[in-house]
A and B are shown apart, each in its own frame.
Chain A
Amino acid sequence: MSRYFTDEHEWIDVEGEIATIGITDYAQEQLGDIVFVELPAEGATFDKGDDAAVVESVKAASDVYAPISGEVVETNGALEDEPALVNSDAEEDGWFFKLRVTDASELEGLMNEAAYKKFVASL
C-alpha cells in the first residue's frame, strides 16, 4: 500500500484499485474543531478536482476535493456520529471516503510523505 498527499492537504491510500481518502493532520489542525462532515453518496463519480465533501468546523465550512477521479464505493459512517474523529485521528480512523480509481496515472505527481512534510514546513 502506498500513501500519497496533495497540496490541498488530503491523503490517499491506494490498495489495488481502491483509494481511501482523508484530510491530513495538518489540515484538521488548521480547521480546528470539526462539527460536521458532509460525505458524498455511494456511487457518486468524481473527476479529479471536483468538490467531494465538506468539512464544517466551528469557524467555517471547507471543501474537500476529489484528489483523483473515481467512483465512491464506501464512506466513513463513523463521522456522522463523531465528526471530531477527524481531529483526533485524521490520518487513520478519520478517513472520509473510498474511491474506485478510474485513472491510476493521476497519482503520478502527488507527494509522498517526506515531500508533503517538506511542503507543510514551507507554509
Chain B
Amino acid sequence: MTGKEDVATIEEELPPGTLPLDAWHRARGARMVVFANYHMPIQYEGIMAEHSWTREHAGLFDVSHMGQLSFSGEGVDEALEQLLPSDIKGLKPFRQRYSMLLDEEGGILDDLMVSRLDGGAFDGADIYMVVNGATKYDDMGWMIEHLPDEVTMNHMDEQALLALQGPEAGDALATLIPETAGLYFMQSGPFTWRGVPLWISRSGYTGEDGFEISIPADNAELLADALAALPQVKPIGLGARDSLRLEAGLPLYGHDLDPRVSAIGADLGFAIQKRRREEGGFFGHARVMKELADGPGSRRVGLRVDGRLPAREGAPIFAGDVMVGEVTSGGFAPTLGAPIAMGWVSLPHSALGTALEVEVRGKRIVATVAPMPFVPHRYRRQKSA
C-alpha cells in the first residue's frame, strides 16, 4: 500500500479530472470551474436565483468530487474509533453521523459523514463514509497508515454522488422512489430505481431537508435527467452550495476548518459523544478534554456584518485596536439580504452579541457575533416518542 505522501504527490501531478456528469452540466449551460481538482459547475442561471430556488423548491447538486469510502473487516468499529472521535460502535444500521478525522494533536484533518450499512450494499461492507473532495487522497493515506491490516478500505470512485436539497426535495424524490418518504434526517438505506442500486441518506449541506444519493457513475446521467425533469427541481452550482451552507452555519473544510484548529474550538463537540469523551482512545482526545475543561484558545463564530459590503475570507477581525481573529468564510446571504461571515475569534471576544470590527480594504465595519445557523435548519427530524 502507498503511504500518505505518495498518494499526495500523485494527486498534485494530475491535471483536473472530469466527473461523470461533466457533459450533462455543460449541456445545461453551466459555467465550469476547477474545484478540488475537478471541472465542476459553479453556476447555471446565477447564484442568487439558484440559492432562492433551493430555499423554496429543490436543488440538484452534483457532489461526485467527494470521496466515497467503504470499510469492512474484523474489528472495523474499534479501528475507526481510533481515527474518529465519534461513537461508531453505537451507530445502528442505516444511521449516519457527522464526524471528523483528527490528527495526534487533535487538529482537524477533515470532516465527514459516516454511516453503518446493512451488510448488502457496497459489496457487503460494514461502514460507508463520505469525505471532502479536496482532502480525500490525504484522508485515504492517513487512514491506510493507521488502520490495521484486517480492515479493508475501498475508495468507490465508480460511484457518483448527487444531492437533492430543499423543502420540496422529499416530494420530488418520492415521485421517483416512493419508499424514500420513510427516511428521516440522518437516516439512510438501500433503494432501487429502474433496477439501479442506490444508497440514499436524508442529509445535506444546505440546512434544508434533502438527500444525498450514491449511484453507480454509469447511471448518474439517467437519474440526473429524471430528477431535473421534475417541476420542483433545478440543477444548482457550487456557488449557491457555498452561500447556502454559509447561511446554514455549516463549516467548509480548508476554510473554516484545518489541521491548526480543534473540534471544540470549531463548535463541533456535538460529534464527540459522551462515551468517547470519557473513554478516549482516539487521536486528539487529550486536546478535546483539555479544551472542554479550560476552553479553547479561539472559537469558530458567526458574524453579522453591518451595511452591505461583504467581508470575505482573510479579513482581519478587531476588538478596538487589537486583532482578535480572522474571517474564514464570508459573503452575501441571499436569504437575509445582508452580508454574513464565519470566523475564528479569540475566546474572550467570542460571546454572542459581542460587537467587533472587520477590516475590508482598509475600512472598519461593525460585525457582531451572532448565533448560527443564520437561516434556521429545516431538517425532517423523527419526533421522539
Contacts and interface: CB of A to CB of B under 8 A. Distances in A.
Contacts of A104: none
A26 B190 CA distance: 46
Interface in B36-70: 42-43, 46-49, 51
Nearest to B334: A58
A72 to B, nearest CB: 17
A3 to B, nearest CB: 26
B47 A32 contact: yes
B309 A36 contact: yes
A94 interface: no
A58 B48 CA distance: 8
Contacts of B49: 33
Given A35-B332, A36-B332, A54-B361, A59 B47 contact: yes
Contacts of A36: 308-310, 332, 339
Contacts, number: 42
A13 interface: no
A22 interface: no
11 contacts: A32-B46, A33-B46, A33-B49, A35-B332, A38-B309, A56-B310, A58-B51, A58-B332, A59-B239, A59-B331, A60-B312
Interface of B: 42-43, 46-49, 51, 239, 243, 308-310, 312, 331-332, 334, 339, 361
Nearest to A54: B361
Contacts of A59: 42, 47, 239, 331
Contacts of B239: 32, 58-59
A80 to B, nearest CB: 8
Interface string A52-92: 00101111110000000000000000000001000000000
A122 B42 CA distance: 22
A58 B308 contact: no
Contacts of B309: 36, 38, 56
